[in-house]
Structure 1
Amino acid sequence: MDHVSGTAGGTSQALKALGEDGTSLARKIVEETAERAAQLTERTGTAPCLATVLVGEDPASVTYVRMKQNRCRKAGIESRHVALPAATGTEELVATLRKLSDDPGVHGILLQHPMGAHIDERAAFEAIAPEKDVDGVTFASFATMSFGLPGFVSCTPGGIMRLLDAYDVDPSGKRAVVVGRSAILGKPAGMLLLARDATVTYCHSRTADLSAALREADIVVAAVGRPRLIRGQDLKPGAVVVDAGYNAGNVGDVDFDSAAERASLITPVPGGVGPMTIATLLEQTVTAAARQLGV
């Protein structure tokens, strides 16, 4: 069934199914990843290893890193954490990331973001070796993803595509609007949809008449970081709405209640895209380890 063309008549059932499917699909991916990790460890004597790097002690970032470490353990992936003081500058951070990139015992690197304004974020990302960029944040990863070549996708956009596939949402021939243009979320999400033959429009803070663009969209990806920006009256009836925003108070970029009245499918915040992001990260870490270990 093509849920993009569905009507709002079955909204309640569809909403529940998608929310459950996002969580269950992530669980399935993690279970399969754990099996692959165990097989890889048995075959090579080396467990996949993900290094996480955190600058400062932002409470939300500390929580996210801890969550990812816990998920690593459950999936049979070793976790190495590098905690740096908030005053750490770009040069020291780049040196740390290059050292991890050169370490054969580390197969994937995650630099927790956002970072302090005093840090050149792009310089830091580019210090990560492409073969260990399991979060898909480097120029190389964006290029390989855009050209459909082997590499690593940005985890949240990659998770979004897996979720759409699981719920039989085929982007081909559909109009997709991505609200947001960040280098690790909005832009790659649009490129992945384009690769699947969607007609993609990017919207952002300077878009004139955002509502007009949204009302033409079969698929909406909200990734702008503005709480409840998108409301039900902005949407085309039957649209598929993916809320990749996360704001204070567990609020997404979409006003869920009003959007649910018009959308055929919608992801909740929290519990929708988030689990898929972590599952994709773990999956790509094991893939990276296998490639580096030559198996």
Structure 2
Amino acid sequence: MTNTYTTLLNGKQLATDLEIELIETIQNLSAKVGRPPGLAVIMVGSNPASVAYVRNKELACKRVGILSFSSHLPASTSQSELEILIEQLNNNPQVDGILLQLPVPPHLDERTLLYRIDPDKDVDGLHPENLGRLVRGEPGLQSCTPAGVMRLLAAHKIKLSGLSAVVVGRSILVGKPLSLMLLAADATVTMAHSRTHNLSAVTRAADLVIAAAGKPNLINAEMIRPGAIVVDVGINRIEGPDGKSILIGDVNFQALQGIASFLTPVPGGVGPMTVAMLLHNTVWSYRARHGLL
């Protein structure tokens, strides 16, 4: 038993604070440029999770003053139709950021579509050119969720230099870019995944554990040493005791109360930061395109 005091990493509050900052920034920049930043979100089909995410992103844009150029397309949309749309958005001077909502229907080639997006408008940070900039430590658009995690840790003055960090999950969306960001912050990084032997021993040795595997309650109390920092990137929709769907993370939140020194809730932790960093990336691209960085 331990008596560690657990501080919640409140992403919802930080995201609200960042939006307030962006409102003022956008007002000042718009006066210089003559127009507000523009974000184009492409959604194909009506995946319920995607519909909810896109709505949240569009509402956030409206709150801070970013103009939305949304395209909600039927699931039957062809590869060539999407490629033409992306090219039009690449060439549209009013559009500073382009986001293709994933996943796309199975008949579409997701990778080719992502590669078609102008890397300087790639606000999801998934184009190979932007991933290459991240590897080299050069300025560029960075993947929103990992960038949101880093911003959340920084806001709580958590010093990463020298820390032992374990990232559970190796996706191109979160695990890989986040590991690179942690390395750039001078953390010592271990990447764990579904094939890792004795995952508990790996995570228990860490000062910082970031769960991004997409498996409900994967990380439990026995896997975390007292005083460690735990960030839960997972968002899993499961059926609750009353039969209604609820959102939980990859971490057993209740079990880590009093064990972790810092802990993110789900919802209200990393999720809001992902949207906040999408707005940040759009404004960054807008500034870069007008020489205002």
TM interval, shorter chain, is over 0.9
Does structure 1 residue 116 correspond to structure 2 residue 105? yes
Report matched runs for 1:159-174 at 5 Å.
Answer: 159-174=148-163
Say yes or no: does 1:274 pair with 2:274.
Answer: no
**Cα gap change, 1:8 to 1:97, in 2 (>3 Å):** farther
Q: What is the count of residue pairs matched by the alignment?
A: 284
Deviation of 1:8 (Å): 5.6
Instruction: State whether residues 232 and 261 of structure 1, in contact with CA within 8 Å, keep that contact through their aligned partners in structure 2.
Output: no
Q: Which amino acid aligns with 1:279?
A: A
How far apart in 1 are the matches of 2:210 and 2:84? 35
1:9 corresponding residue in structure 2: 3
Which of residues 176, 183, 187 in structure 2 aligns to 1:187? 176
Q: 1:27 to 1:133 in 2, by over 3 A?
A: same
**Pairs within 5 Å for 1:152-231:** 152-231=141-220
| Separation of aligned partners in 2, 1:99 and 1:44 | 22
- Pair 90,24 (structure 1): closer, same or farther in 2 beyond 3 Å: same
Q: Does 1:134 align with 2:135?
A: no
Q: Evaluate the alpha carbon distance shift between residue 150 and residue 82 of structure 1 in structure 2; reply closer, same or farther with a 3 A threshold.
A: same
Amino acid at match of 1:181: R
1:96 aligns with 2:91: no
Aligned-residue offset at 1:32 = 1.1
Counterpart selection for 1:285 from 249, 265, 282: 282
Is there any run of 5+ residues in structure 2 with no aligned partner, and where? 238-245
Residue type of the alignment partner of 2:73: L
Q: Does 1:254 align with 2:251?
A: yes
TM-score by length of 1: 0.92
Q: What's the CA shift string for 1:32-91, capped at 9, x where partnerless? A: 111111111111211100000001001111111111111101101001111121122333
Distance 2:149 2:114 in 1: 22
Does the 8 A contact of 1:242 with 1:266 survive in 2?
yes
Task: Give me the whole-angstrom Cα distance separating, in 1, the residues matched to 2:107 and 2:2.
Answer: 47
Taking the aligned partners of 1:55 and 1:165, their CA distance within structure 2 comes to 35
Query: Is the Cα–Cα contact under 8 Å of residues 8 and 264 in structure 1 kept in the other structure?
Result: no
Partner of 1:4: none
Paired position in structure 2 for 1:61: 50
Check the 8 A contact 2:4/2:260 in 1, yes or no: no
State the distance in 1 between where 2:210 and 2:252 align.
13
CA-atom RMSD in angstroms: 1.5
- Spell out, residue by residue over 1:84-141, the C-alpha distance to the aligned partner (whole angstroms, 9 max, x if none): 2112233332222222112111110111112222222211111111110112111111
Once the two structures are superposed, residues 155-199 of structure 1 have per-residue CA deviations (whole angstroms, 9 ceiling, x without a partner) of 110010011111121111111111111111110011100111111
The one-letter code sitting in structure 1 at the alignment partner of 2:215 is: R
Tell me which protein shows more helix as a share of its residues: 1
What is the rounded CA distance, in whole Å, between the counterparts of 1:25 and 1:48 in structure 2?
Answer: 22
- For the residues of structure 2 that align with 1:254 and 1:88, how far apart are their CA atoms? 37
Is the partner of 1:286 in helix, strand or coil?
helix
Which residue, 252, 261, 264 being the options, matches 2:261?
264
d(CA) in 1 for partners of 2:143 and 2:77?
25
Q: What fraction of aligned residue pairs are identical, expressed as a percent? A: 47
The counterpart of 1:32, out of the listed 21, 24, 43, is: 21
User: Where in structure 1 are there 5+ consecutive unaligned residues?
Assistant: 1-6
